[in-house]
Structures are given as structure tokens and as C-alpha cells.
Amino acid sequence: MIAVAAVAALTAPGAALAQVPGETPSPIPQDPLATAPIFTGSAATPDPTEGQDVPRHPFMAPNGRSNIHDDAYQTDTYEWAGPLGHDLATTSALFMRECGSVTFDSRGRLVTVCVGLDKPVLAMLNPHTLQVLATMDLPPRNVGPNPFQDFSGGGYFYLDNRDRAVISAGNRHILVVGETGGAGSPGFALERDYNVTAAVPDGDALISALPDWQGRIWFASKKGVVGTIQPASGVVRSIDTGEPIGNSFAVDETGGVYIVTDKAMYRFDAPEGKPVVTWRRAYPNIGVTKPGQTEQGSGTTPTLIGRRYVTITDNADPMDILVYKRGPDVLGRRLVCSQPVFAKGASDTDQSLIASQRSIIAENNYGYTGPASTMNGGVTSPGLERVDLDGDGRGCHSVWRSNQRAPSVVPKLSLRAGLVYTYTKPKRDDMTDAWYLTALDFDTGKTVYRRLAGTGFGYNNNYAPVTLAADGTAYVGVLGGLTTFRDAAPG
């Protein structure tokens, strides 16, 4: 009830109009008694690093614009730079809903699903002013006792190659929503409604949907159903793993669909249109939901590396990064390496791993059980860690570890800047809750800068990612709505 009361406390003049098209929202209120440094560190000099070659998915928006993890491989990397820290300014928009997954349509507008305690809302926003351009109410979510740790019913969606939002809705339907009105009077219209309730019955919920390279829409449910939809006919075919699924999944150009359950890592294929298990590997699991996780297993969306590998974390103590060979048939062991990260008794994650060439970056979320855990000065266990595959492809090793505290953000890597962007809440001697966009050096893990987003409950990102636009703007969804970070214009 503490969190619900805090949400109500965010109400300010203009909040009722926060998602009315044509209205520019008010900023998210800050803690009026708090004081915190605005900026620490120094502006970065770009130090580009080479990323992996991720193929453009033919049925998704371009890489970096299509979904919460940026591309079909779920790499959480961008070809372009984020903010470097030059007179870095921040703004915010009070929506009373968290705008977590942010995508970009072909006109550069933000398309996002903003999830609140009342309902999720599909919204189109001006990327500079955050003015609301169009909205569509989505079906209410059927969530469990902790709505802040349930990603079903709209937490994940993707933007397709035709600027359509494909949403796993709370009524166990997959909705395809197109844009209308062009640049002058934009809007949304429902184009397709795929009913998958026969495969995902009452009491279950949809987690995520993504297309394969043939255009079939794959979906996964909380209780472990994996299915496909033929877009033209709407025919649904499915398989029930019987194992809970808590996160999204990855797809590649060979037809592989990579899903992790609370028990095992899977590759699925659909040679005749129906999902079949190509391979399955159980991973180490102590069988408990650690504080910082939303399920009793891996907290990661699988991430693909190059043409050979897929990586996740397990639920051991301490947690390990695991790398598997992902092909249908492989020589030797399928498990390439297992590298422990963070401290025993204080290691877990509920975020996808960053993957760039042979480098993997994990974030520690241990201690984050919801908004109350970071209120009144509360902090989580520290740690972001980079692990690299060995040159011979037979093992992996730790490269660096940062002690920054990132309670629950999906961190991102800018290849052009050579910076890892995360969202942190440093430990303080008082009870101030100060939230920062934080940039780390990809090569060394050293903190380059921190820029204050705001103080108070409304600036808690609660599992939302850092999202980078091609113009260098960073966006972070927060419980109050959405925040932005931009370098000052040259001159």
C-alpha cells in the first residue's frame, strides 16, 4: 500500500490531462525537501567499440527502434551515440503510468505502452516535447499480487516494419495497431485482433510476442505456453512446456526462437508451422525467487551473440552468466562457459544481458523487490560486470566490475560512444531518493558521469530500460511517466 499511496501523491495540476492528445504534460514532481548533486564526473570523449553484425529483421522496425531490447537478437546495443554529458539537460512528463518499452516509428515519433495501476495505454509522443499525439486504451491487465513485478499484458511489445504496434494484451489477444492520419493528425486504429485464449486459458497471461523471419508471430505465456500465429489466417498452434516464463525471447534468421523458462534454456523451431523443441538445457537453479527477481529462475531475456551463441544468466548462488552454442546440432558440449558474477548471497538480475561481439554485460538487481525497497534511502546491492568469451571460444572470463547500484534498469551500450548507460540510485547518508542516468566506460567499467534525473518515488524506473534515440537523446521510463536526457546543442 506504500507504493500505491506514493503513486497517488504524484498527482499535480495537469496530471488528469497527461495522456490527452494535444496536451503537453506537466513535469514529474520532485521531493521538495531533497538536495542532491546535479552532475558528477565529466563529459565523455567518444571511444567507439565494434559491435556484432545483427541482421535487420524483415518484419520488425529497424534495429535500435523496434522493441525494449533494440533488435531481434535482443542485444541492448545501439549503433549511434547517447548523451556524452555536455551541459546535459533533463526533462520529464507526468503520465501517472510508466512508459517502459519505447520504440521509434519511421517519422521518429515515440511509440510506447505506458502501464499504470488502472490500465495500459498505447501512446504516440513528440520526441522533443513529449507532447501526446495519439493514444489508445488497452485491455486491463490480469496481474498477480505485485503489479510492479508483472510484465504481462503490455510490458513487452514490438513495432513492426509497417509502424504497427504488436501488443500482447491483457485479454490474451495479440493486437496489431496501425498508425492513422499521417503527420498532420496522427492516431491509432486496430488492424488485427488474434484471439489466443484457446492456447492461453483463463488464469494465464501473455508475456511477449515477436515475429520469426517467415512472418509468423510467436508468443509466450506466464505459465509456459509457446505458440505461433499465421498472420493471414490467424491459425494458432502451440506447445505447453509446463514451466513458467517471465521474460521475452529472441529470434534469429535461421528460424530459431530462444526462450528461457524457470527450468531450462530452449531453442524452438516451427518446421511445419507448429513450435517444436529443437534442444533444451536445464541450468543451475537454487529454486527460490531471490530479492530482485520476478520468478524462480533466470531473470534474463535470452541474448544472441553472432551466429553461434546465446547467453542467459542462471539462478545459482552466486549467479552465473551461461553461454550456449545455439545451432540445432553442435559438435561437443552445448554449454560453452559458465562465469560467476557478483557476490554469493547478493547476486541476481531481472534484465537482459548486453552483448557486443564477444563481450557480455550483466547488471545486479539483488535487493529490488518493488518500489518500496528503494524508498526512504533504501538501496540495492551494487554491480555491473563485463564478461568476455575467450579467444578460443572454449570459455569466458571477467573483465571488469563496477560498484554502481542500478536497482532494476535495462542497461544499454552505445557502440559509437563506447559508453554503457544505466540508471542508478547511489547510497546516501540521508533518506533522499536521488536517481541518476549514469554512463560507464565500456573498456574499463569506470564511471564517466552521473546526471540527476530527479528525486522521489516518481523517478524510480521500476524495470524500464534506458532507450537511446538516433539524435543522442536518452529516455528512461519511470513510475511517474517518462524522462529525457539531452546534451546541449553545439554553440
Cell, residue 125: 509522443
Cα–Cα distance measured from residue 490 to residue 310, given in angstroms and rounded to the nearest whole number: 41
Task: Check residue 146 and give its pLDDT.
Answer: 66
- For the stretch 84-97, pLDDT in tens is 999 999 999 999 99
Does residue 257 lie within any of the structural domains?
Answer: yes
Identify whether the C-beta of residue 456 lies closer than 8 Å to the C-beta of residue 463: no
CATH of the domain at 12: 2.130.10.10
Does residue 287 lie within any of the structural domains?
Answer: yes
Whole-Å CA distances, 302 to 219, 313, 395: 15, 9, 19
Does residue 321 lie within any of the structural domains?
Answer: yes
Cα–Cα distance measured from residue 460 to residue 458, given in angstroms and rounded to the nearest whole number: 6
- Please name which of 152, 151, 186, 146 lies closest in space to residue 172, comparing C-alpha atoms: 152
- Please name which of 194, 205, 107 lies closest in space to residue 159, comparing C-alpha atoms: 107
Does residue 491 lie within any of the structural domains?
Answer: no
In this prediction, what percent of the chain has a pLDDT beyond 90? 88
pTM of the model: 0.95
Does residue 369 lie within any of the structural domains?
Answer: yes
Does residue 380 lie within any of the structural domains?
Answer: yes
Q: Cell 571460444 belongs to which residue? A: 393
Does residue 450 lie within any of the structural domains?
Answer: yes
Number of domains in the chain: 1
Rg of the chain over CA atoms, in angstroms? 21
* pLDDT level of residue 155 (50, 70, 90 thresholds): confident
Residue 289 structural domain: 2-486
Report the b/e string of 135-168 with b at 16+ CB within 10 A: bbebbebbbeeeebbbbbbbbbbbbbbebbbbbb
Q: Residue 17: pLDDT above 70?
A: no
Task: Check residue 21 and give its pLDDT.
Answer: 86
- For the stretch 255-273, pLDDT in tens is 999 999 999 999 999 999 9
Q: Residue 251: pLDDT above 90?
A: yes
Q: Residue 1: pLDDT above 50?
A: no
Does residue 338 lie within any of the structural domains?
Answer: yes
**Taken in order 176, 181, 182, 186, is the CA torsion positive or negative?**
negative
- For the stretch 208-236, pLDDT in tens is 999 999 999 999 999 999 999 999 999 99
